Amino acid sequence: MMLLRNSIPRICIALGLTDGGRLLEHARREADAGERFLEFRLDYLPSPEAGPDLIRKFLKAYPDCWVLATCRRHQNHGRFNGSIEEQLQILTAAIEAGARAVDIEIETAEAAKGRVRELEGRAVVVISYHNYEGTPAMEPVMRRMAKVPADAYKVVTTARKPSDNLRVLSLSKSFPKSKLVLLAMSETGFPSRVLSMVMGGLYTYATPSAAEGTAAGQVCARQMRQMYRADKLSKNCKYYGVIADPVRHSISPAVHNRALQAKRVDGLYLPFLVAPLQLKDFFVLAEKLPLQGFSVTIPHKQRILRYLDAVDPLSKRIGAVNTVWRKAGKWRGTNTDAAGVRVPLEKRTRLGNKSVLVVGNGGAARSAAFTLADAGAQVTVTGRNPDRVRALAKACGGTPVMPEAAEKADYDIVVHATPVGMWPHGDECFFAERVPGELVFDLVYTPARTKLLAMAEAQGRTVVPGIEMFVEQALAQFELFTGVAGPRAVMEKAAREAIEEQQGRQGA
Cα–Cα nearest to 440, from 419, 407, 458, 465: 465
Q: What is the pLDDT of residue 506?
A: 57
Using CA atoms, how far residue 8 sits from 1, 5, 390, 430, in Å, is 10, 6, 61, 53
Q: What are the tens digits of pLDDT across the range 127-150? A: 999 999 999 999 999 999 999 999
Distance (Å, rounded) from C-alpha 155 to C-alpha 236? 24
User: Contact at 8 Å (CB) between 301 and 334?
Assistant: no
- pLDDT-derived band at 386 (thresholds 50, 70, 90) equals very high
Q: How far apart are CA 124 and CA 154, in angstroms?
A: 12
Alpha-carbon separation of residue 452 from 456, 466, 500 (angstroms): 6, 11, 18
> Which distant-in-sequence residues (6+ apart) come within 8 Å of 201 by Cβ?
172, 177, 180, 181, 182, 183
**Mean pLDDT, rounded, of the chain:** 94
In degrees and rounded to multiples of 5, residue 170 shows phi and psi of -60, -20
pLDDT average, residue stretch 88-112 = 98
Phi-psi group of 98: left, alpha or beta (phi > 0 → left; psi -120 to 50 → alpha; rest → beta): left
The answer on pLDDT for 78 being more than 60 is yes
| pLDDT number for residue 1 | 42
Is a pLDDT exceeding 90 seen at residue 209? no
How far is CA 505 from each of CA 102, 491, 498, 499, rounded to the nearest angstrom? 33, 21, 11, 10
Task: Compute φ and ψ for 393, nearest 5 degrees.
Answer: -60, -45
Helices (H) and strands (E) in the chain, counts: 20, 20
CB-CB contact of 158 with 131 (8 Å): yes
- Please, which pLDDT band fits residue 5 given cuts at 50, 70 and 90? low
Residue 469 backbone zone (phi > 0: left; psi -120 to 50: alpha; other: beta) = alpha
Residue 171 one-letter amino acid: L
Question: What pLDDT score was predicted for residue 507?
Answer: 52
Kindly list the strands in the beta sheet with 291-296, ordered across the sheet, starting from the edge strand earlier in the chain: 267-273, 238-244, 291-296, 323-327, 330-334, 310-311
Higher per-residue confidence, 249 vs 401: 401
Q: Residue 278 in 3-state DSSP?
A: coil
Of 91, 113, 97, 107, whose CA–CA distance to 41 is shortest? 91
Of 76, 58, 57, which is closest to residue 13 (Cα–Cα)? 58
Q: Tell me the DSSP string of 454-479.
A: HHHHHTT-EEE-HHHHHHHHHHHHHH
Buried b (16+ CB within 10 A) or exposed e, 212-234: ebbbebbbbbebbbebbbbeebe
Residue 352 CB neighbour total at 10 angstroms: 9
User: Tens digits of per-residue pLDDT, 321-349?
Assistant: 999 999 999 999 999 999 999 999 999 99
Q: What is the pLDDT of residue 249?
A: 84
Query: Sorting pLDDT into bands at 50, 70 and 90, what band is 508?
Result: very low
Asked whether the beta carbons of 194 and 230 are under 8 A apart, the reply is yes
pLDDT tens by residue, 440-490: 999 999 888 999 999 999 999 999 999 999 999 999 999 999 999 999 999
CB-neighbour burial class of residue 374 (10 A; exposed 0-12, middle 13-18, buried 19+) = middle
Whether the pLDDT of residue 316 is over 70: the answer is: yes
- Check residue 87 and report its DSSP letter: H
Provide the β-strand partners of residue 463: 440
Distance between CA atoms of residues 223 and 96, nearest Å: 33
User: Which of 252, 300, 295 has the alpha carbon at shortest distance from 278?
Assistant: 300
- Catalytic residue, from 179, 301, 354, 451: name it: 301
| HSE value, Cβ hemisphere, 13 Å, CA-based, for 40 | 39
For range 198-218, the mean pLDDT:
79
Closest CA to 452 of 416, 486, 485, 505: 416
- Helix ranges (H only) for 271-410 are 279-288, 313-318, 337-346, 363-374, 386-396, 403-408
The mean-pLDDT minimum among 217-226, 364-373, 399-408 falls in 217-226
- Does the annotation count 301 as an active-site position? yes
pLDDT at 233: 87
Gap between the Cα atoms of 257 and 452, Å rounded: 30
266 CB-side CA count, 13 A: 8
